[in-house]
Chain A
Amino acid sequence: MIGLENISAHNGWAMAFVGISIVFSGLILLSFVISQLHRILDLFERWYIIANKNNHKNRKKANKKCGTELPATLTPGKTATPNKTTEEKHSEEIIRNYKMITHRMGEPFSLPKLLDLAEKRGLNRPYSTVNMLIASEDIVSDGNGFFVWKR
């Protein structure tokens, strides 16, 4: 069988129409979700910050009742960098840890040695962390096979 008859006999029109509709709806849905992804993440981040603040307030109240005061650095609003997100604080801590190691090594430093020392110090996931530092250009190549801190 050939021609339009073959299409009708095998439900070809419906297959083509439903098929392309499914592909379109799948990708439209995916594109809509990823266009909203950053908003959803922002929402979670805000919710997380608010939840943290409430926790601090409750702890402060409880401490007051017990007659003790929270240290200034742990009190919301009195922190040195109140607007920093948890992720930023975390990455600052990572940089601080690795800078401590490279301070002893001197700049420029070799990556294998840095990884070796980081492993010996028991730092968490040194390979992926150093990779992240290179990707974020905190650590940059000096062009001679060694690396230096950018900031």
Chain B
Amino acid sequence: MDLLMQFLTNTGFYLADYRHIIMFIAGAVFLYLGAAKNYEPLLLIPIGFGILVGNVPFFKGLGLGIYEENSVLSYLYFGVTTGCYPSIIFLGLGAMTDFTPLLARPKLMLLGAAAQIGIFFTLITALVLGFLPKEAASIAIIGGADGPTSIFLTAKLAPHLIGPVAIAAYSYMALIPVIQPPIMRLLTTRKERLIRMPEGRAVPRKELMIFPGVGVFLCCFLAPASIPLLGTFFFGNFLKECGATERLAKTARTTIIDTATIFLGFTVGASTQGDVFLTAKSVGIFCLGAVAFSIATASGILFAKIMNLFLKEKINPLLGAAGVSAVPGSAREVHLMGQKADPSNYLLMDAMACNSSGVIGSAIAAGVLWSFLI
């Protein structure tokens, strides 16, 4: 009987408290959004399930938890804390990205830069609220709307915040259809939304092949701290474009990125143990993340409007919202918003150009912040 009682007191049912229940609900919401609503399912489902697994109450000291030494989960989590998974994901992302629209219209790259204003605005705001500089930088990078970049920088600067930062970054990426359209409507007129983008020039294959080299040379030389992200990103893109390594490119953009995404999502979810995650800081991070994301969207749109003051050939300011690096969610949202105003207006390719420049921009911003605070 004693043995049975001892066993029962060690079960999750006995050890559970309100924090575990809150986190279970959060995990269920993620699973619901991913599976039923189809909001970024590839990210939300591994994270959601990770939250469930990570919040099963257990007896501390058995080497089960993600924060316990030599546990299986801690080994899987190693890829997050060292920044390996984000780097691998960038390799796959590079092998997926088609830079043709960006090379056809290089000025759209400025919109990717403008959207990064959100990061630095949030850095200031987080400092105002009393966060330490390293924490503030980790929170600010959420404005880049790039999950792997956010995780990478947070792992380097404020590892204790990986859970809340990653959850906030991926939540806002999934909530793009909810967050971005009102900002787009608010900051643009119908006339501006009707602007059509002219067809870009044809881009020869040679240019696509040379671009990754140019990218590495300029971006990584300028901000060497972005090498782990941009180095693999451009490498993946070169695998795709050179034509001789199609098999490797295919593996990078399918098997490799999928494997890394599964482990990253699952372990980040599992790292949100109620006792670690449910703090006032996490609430602050969520609020600041929303601010960062909104400011990034708004600054992209406003910058596009400023550019239009000087350009003969006007650009559709909606494209500025795609300057955040949530690929391809924000590009899709811009395209849909453009089509609501004019169903025959096709903005997707131009929005993808802004998106890919946003990926480069946020990786540079992460590198810059890391080098400032190292």
Contacts and interface: CB of A to CB of B under 8 A. Distances in A.
A100 interface: no
B207 A37 contact: yes
B246 A10 contact: no
**Per DSSP, are chain B's interface residues mostly helix, strand or loop, or mixed?**
helix
B162 to A, nearest CB: 21
B110 A27 contact: yes
B285 interface: no
Nearest to A13: B124
A125 interface: yes
A119 to B, nearest CB: 14
Most buried by A among B106, B121, B133, B215: B106
Interface in B323-374: 357, 360-361, 364-365, 368-369, 372
A34 B209 CA distance: 12
A137 to B, nearest CB: 13
A27 B372 contact: no
Nearest to B203: A38
A7 B219 CA distance: 28
A16 B123 contact: yes
Range class of the B interface residue count: 35 or more
B58 interface: no
Nearest to B137: A15
B204 A35 contact: no
Contacts of A105: none
Given A15-B372, A30-B215, A127 B109 contact: no
A125 B244 contact: yes
A4 B125 CA distance: 9
A131 interface: yes
B49 interface: no
Given A16-B123, A20-B117, 11 more contacts: A4-B128, A15-B120, A15-B123, A22-B223, A27-B364, A29-B222, A30-B109, A31-B107, A34-B106, A41-B206, A125-B244
27 contacts: A2-B128, A3-B130, A6-B128, A7-B124, A10-B127, A10-B132, A15-B369, A16-B123, A17-B120, A19-B120, A19-B365, A19-B368, A22-B368, A26-B113, A26-B218, A26-B361, A27-B110, A30-B214, A34-B102, A35-B106, A37-B103, A37-B210, A38-B207, A41-B206, A41-B210, A125-B243, A128-B246
Interface of A: 1-4, 6-7, 10-13, 15-20, 22-35, 37-38, 41, 87, 125, 127-128, 131-132
